[in-house]
Amino acid sequence: MYSGGTSYTLVASANPNAARIHIAYDKKENPYSAPAFCMLLRKHLLGATIKDISIAGDDRVFRISLSARTEMQDVKDFFVVVELMGRYSNVILLDENDIILDALVRIGVSEKGRRVIMPGAKYTPQPKGDKAEFYDKEGIKSRLEKSDKATLYDALLSSVNGLSKQSAKEIAFLSENAGNPVDKAIEEITFFDEIFGKTTYKPCTLKDYSDFFVTPYRSQGDENDFVFFPTLNGAVNACFTLSDKSQREKNYFKDIIVLTKRHRDKLVKKIDIAREKLIECNDMENVRISAELLANNQYKISRGEPSVTVENYYDDMRPLTIKLDVTKTPAQNVQHLFNKYNKLKRAKEISREQIEEYSKELDYVNSILDALSRAELSDAENIKDELVALKIIKKQGGNGRKKVVQKSAPKTYEKDGYTIYVGTNNILNNEVTFKIGRSYDVWLHVKNHHGSHVIIRKNSENDVIPDSVLSSAAETAAYFSEAANSENVAVDYTERRNVRRIKDAGLGMVNYDDYKTIFVTPKNNIGK
């Protein structure tokens, strides 16, 4: 929408878990294929003028009045009704006579106890039920006193029209321990009524942006637990924008985490099989000894004998019984044992190689899972490249639309005149260590855990890093690692020249020597 030469995005969501209407500050990219209801809105309302926005009493029902020109250039009125009612939320398009043109969620005649929301039907508001309006204090009090609900919270929700769960929780929190909880609840409702009638209040969200409030709710903590905004719309926008971002990140990485863990489990199984095979090869020397002893005693054996007992000159001439294949000649039995020995010898070599190879890959995959546990959307492309290389996911082809994705870069921050670089995935770890880091720069990594490579950029080769800078970099290295939730974490540091890539291992897999160790509590110092 446009006003005064400025473009605004009006968000109307019927998502049961995030139903709302507000002005969005960030423009979302339109989907490749728009839903049918969206196409209908475009058909009728593209270029329309908003004449009025009203609210139906205390209900969370918004009625947006618009006028638009038809294909014949006639002016026609439309209404968009946005009902914010939890799992019953909906967006409905009406003509000038309140006839439903369509709705985001259609409700047919077969659904008992609910209104019909179908094209061609007359729109009727959602029945309010036996609830008192917010301003009707006597009506609220009467219903609360008669309520058979187990808690004051439940009684409030069932007695007061338009009362949100958050507000009901706050009123119950402030009232339940009073001498007369009902009278106290009415007092708090009066206070809330006054807040909603004011033009100045304290809009806020929780620090994790998981919820928003018109004013700090004591049931949620003290004022230090909130982030404040100059407008309620700003709080709502931040809450849903940032929570949406968080959810998108979770959903985006959920599938590739599952695939990566599945690949990890396959590697573990392969290592177990290789180790079992290696155990089987432990009998290899006994087979060789039996083959040699049998070869030296062929003349004592007749075909068809099930076994032969010989003196074992490898074991102080103690007797050794060797089983034979009765279908084979003595010479064939000897050859069979030598073949078995050579087969076990090759299997032992292969099993050792497999264990080494699979173990290196397992270590690399675990480092990717560690990066995924902290990953942001900006890390996605780098991590996807790693997973494609490991054939954990397939490389996606083009879809006809060119999409430029910005890969992440190492995180950086300044501390007492020094620049500190932090890798957040294996590709960036490799970049930080071997492209950004100079031979004399200080390199840090958490001890015996997967995590970020960190470089402290020296101001000169002979520069001595202050303890404050070293501690800060070590805290950050510990924070971006598997040991992030531990205390007194060991972090190794050395000059970059002492760090070497591990042959045939994945990116970011290194060995290092000539190091020292510092113990710190993990802390994210980036941006501070």
CB 267, CB 366: distance < 8 Å: no
Rounded CA separation 303/471 (Å): 78
**pLDDT tens, 67-102?**
998 877 788 999 999 998 878 899 999 999 999 999
Rounded-to-integer distance, Cα 48 and Cα 42, Å: 10
**Is residue 128's pLDDT more than 80?**
no
pLDDT in the model for residue 71: 76
Q: What pLDDT score was predicted for residue 244?
A: 59
Kind and range of the H or E run holding 282: none
All domains in the chain, ordered by first residue: 2-103 (2.30.310.10), 137-238 (no CATH), 411-520 (no CATH)
Q: How many residues does the chain have?
A: 528
Q: What CA–CA distance (Å, rounded) separates 57 from 343?
A: 86
- One-letter identity of residue 399: N
- Give yes or no for a contact between 379 and 371, defined as CB atoms under 8 angstroms apart: yes
- Nearest Cα to 214, choosing from 198, 201, 227, 200? 201
Answer for the pair 307, 323: CB distance below 8 angstroms, yes or no. Answer: yes
Q: pLDDT tens digits for 248-292?
A: 566 667 778 888 899 999 999 999 999 999 998 988 989 999 999
Residue type, 156: L
Q: Cα separation of 331 and 464, whole Å?
A: 75
pTM for the full model? Answer: 0.50
- The β-bridge relationship of strands 49-55 and 516-520 is unpaired
CA atoms within 13 A on the CB side of 252: 18
pLDDT at 472 over 90: yes
User: 328, 338 in Cβ contact below 8 A?
Assistant: no
Of 134-138, 202-206, 211-215, the one with minimum mean pLDDT is 134-138
Model pLDDT for residues 12-53, shown as the tens digit of each residue: 888 887 788 888 877 666 655 678 888 899 888 988 999 999
Q: What is the pLDDT of residue 480?
A: 94
How many CA atoms, within 13 angstroms, populate the side-chain half-sphere of residue 500?
A: 8
For the segment 334-359, what is each residue's pLDDT rounded down to a tens digit?
Answer: 999 999 999 999 999 999 999 999 99
Average pLDDT, the chain: 86
What pLDDT score does 247 carry? Answer: 59
Q: For the purposes of burial, counting CB atoms within 10 Å of the CB of 126, is it exposed (0-12), middle (13-18) or buried (19 or more)?
A: middle
**Dist. CA 36–CA 119, nearest whole Å:** 13
Give the separation between CA 401 and CA 201, rounded to whole angstroms: 46
Where are the alpha helices (H) located in 123-280, listed in sequence order? 137-146, 152-159, 165-175, 181-197, 232-280
CA dihedral sign, ordered 358, 364, 367, 372: negative
Token readout for 3 is 């006003």
Where are the alpha helices (H) located in 281-329, listed in sequence order?
284-296
What φ, ψ does residue 272 adopt, rounded to 5°?
Answer: -60, -45
Q: Which residues contact residue 150 at a Cβ distance below 8 angstroms, ignoring those fewer than 6 apart? A: none
Q: Is 474 left (phi over 0), alpha (psi -120 to 50) or beta?
A: alpha
Which uninterrupted H or E stretch holds 388? helix 380-389
Which residue did the predictor score with more confidence, 240 or 515?
515
Closest CA to 83 of 108, 107, 109: 107
Quick one: pLDDT band at residue 246, thresholds 50, 70, 90?
A: low
Distance CA 510, CA 40 (A): 58
